[in-house]
Amino acid sequence: MLLGEYRHNIDTKGRLIIPAKFREQLGPQFMVTRGLDGCLFGYPPSEWEQVQEEIDHLPFNKRDARTFARLFFSAATECELDKQGRINLPEPLIKYAKLQKQCVLTGVSKRFEIWDAEKWDRYNEQAQDDFNEIAENLLDF
């Protein structure tokens, strides 16, 4: 399970340190792609296969399903850790998530997310204000 919040800087070459606790669970290669809310999603290989199957089962005759699949898979990149525990993010993903210098990597159970630190701080502050209401609404499921 991927848990926690970690802050690391992305360098000018797009290299970003993956926290050691994440590396243990991700293995030497894993996938990163566009996420929701302006962040990136990272998946270990086994979870990537499950996500891929779910998206493959979306009705291809629906425009939203085709668009989502295209954007999700076209941005996907297989990341390989270097000896310092870093990955090299491609420019389109950096631009999509508007990653500046400091990034936040958050564990979200079976995936992790990469956020620009300022964007994460704004999102986190707003979400915390609504946390109780969100929890109550989700309990209705």
The pLDDT tens digits for 23-63 are 999 999 999 999 999 999 999 999 999 999 999 999 999 99
H or E stretch at 15: strand 15-17
What dihedral angle (degrees, nearest 10) is formed by the CA atoms of 119, 121, 122, 126?
Answer: 140
pLDDT digits (tens, 9 = 90+) for 95-138: 999 999 999 999 999 999 999 999 999 999 999 888 888 888 88
For the record, the structure tokens of 121 come out as 């701080």
H/E stretch holding 42: strand 40-43
Q: What is the pLDDT of residue 141?
A: 59
Yes or no: domain 5-139 corresponds to CATH 3.40.1550.20: yes
CA–CA separation, 75 and 98 (whole Å): 14
Amino acid at 18: I
Q: How far apart are CA 10 and CA 135, in angstroms?
A: 33
Q: Where are the domains of the chain?
A: 5-139
Name the pTM for this structure: 0.94
Type of residue found at 95: K
Span 54-104, pLDDT tens digits: 999 999 999 999 999 999 999 999 999 999 999 999 999 999 999 999 999
Locate 61 and state its tokens: 């005759």
